[in-house]
Amino acid sequence: MLRFKSAGRGRGYTALRGGVESILRVAYAGGWPAALWGRTPLARVGITRHTLPLLPEGAPPLRVGFVSDLHLGPTTPSRLVDEAFAHLAGARLDVLLLGGDYVFLDTSAAKERELAARVGTIASVTKLAVMGNHDLWTAHDGLERALREGGAQVLTNACVTLPAPHGRVAVVGLDEPWTGRLDAPAAFRGAGDADALIVLCHSPDGLPDAARALARLPRRPEALFVCGHTHGGHVATPWGPLIVPGRVGKRFPCGLFDADAADGMTLFVSRGVGGVELPIRTFARPEIAVLDLVARPAC
């Protein structure tokens, strides 16, 4: 199917991208790249764990699971997605965060059913999601509906407070920085009373806007920014990634960065799970993250 403009509200969909994706729809028909990748030892998902002392003294611990860049489609083996959600289901999460790019090339009724079912298997009390650039380039209304059917709330420049006993923690969800319409001041409204913030965004390129909005709050809470999009370079070397998308992504290709390095916010950039144009990864292992937020030590 030829398509040379965005099928959703996403910006930045060029005629060149449309041409490449039109070719890939034909070349990858039947999902043979995912089948081949799925037979290699590289088709494994790791669990990245961090303990972060970001909560106020006396606050109960908060376990957050994060998964991004599933890219359901012809280049992502089902085995990877199975393993990612098995890890999440076994982690006993308080909060599940979903970082966008749920599909590659196009959405479909089958992909939407799969997304809803997989999100629905996670038993956490709170599930929150943002959209990625690939989602916004397709018929994203169906993906948003699937996320809601799986029990997730989709945040677009919005803030929510977590339920008890974590009622002093808020989650800010930012729209996709490149293809969406990120509005950090609107997103941070209502965040001023929180003792700790989690900022959820698809791409690290939302970090500067989030840092400016955080600095304007009358009382500045500890903040964690979580995102994906970079794939850790997708095809990398033992010495680091070769190509990383985005200006901020080039500074922070993947991993955990402290607040001194990352504009005053603790930053976690996930390598994500799936594949896009290239149906395999090297030295950028797919991952999900389990982040344990704990109380800061007493001064």
pLDDT digits (tens, 9 = 90+) for 25-83: 999 999 999 999 999 998 999 999 999 999 999 999 999 999 999 999 999 999 999 99
pLDDT tens, position by position, 220-231: 899 999 999 999
- Residue 1 covered by a domain: no
Is there a domain that residue 7 lies in?
no
Question: Which CATH number covers residue 104?
Answer: 3.60.21.10
Q: How many domains does the chain have?
A: 1
6, part of any domain: no
pTM (predicted TM-score):
0.96
- Pairing mode of beta strands 158-161, 153-154: unpaired
State the CB neighbour count (10 A cutoff) for residue 219. Answer: 8
Residues contacting 195, CB < 8 A, separation 6+? 55, 56, 59, 168, 169, 221, 222
For residue 234, what are the domain limits? 15-295
Mean pLDDT on 12-30? 94
- The residues, ordered by sequence, that sit 6+ positions from 141 with a Cβ below 8 Å of its Cβ are 8
Integer Cα distance of 38 and 77 in angstroms: 5
Over residues 282-289, the mean pLDDT reads 94
| Model pLDDT, residue 299 | 63
Q: Average pLDDT, whole number, for the chain?
A: 95
Report if residue 20 sits inside a domain. Answer: yes
The radius of gyration computed from the CA coordinates of the chain, to the nearest angstrom, equals 18
174 is a domain residue: yes
Is 251 part of a structural domain of the chain? yes
Distances (CA, A) of 259 to 19, 223, 264: 41, 9, 4
Q: Looking at the domain assignment, is residue 103 inside a domain?
A: yes
Rounded Cα gap, residues 25 and 291, in angstroms: 36
Asked if the bond preceding 238 is cis, omega within 30° of 0, the reply is no
Look at residue 8 and tell me if it is in a domain: no
Residues 77-133 pLDDT 10s? 999 999 999 999 999 999 999 999 999 999 999 999 999 999 999 999 999 999 999
Task: Report whether pLDDT(5) > 80.
Answer: yes
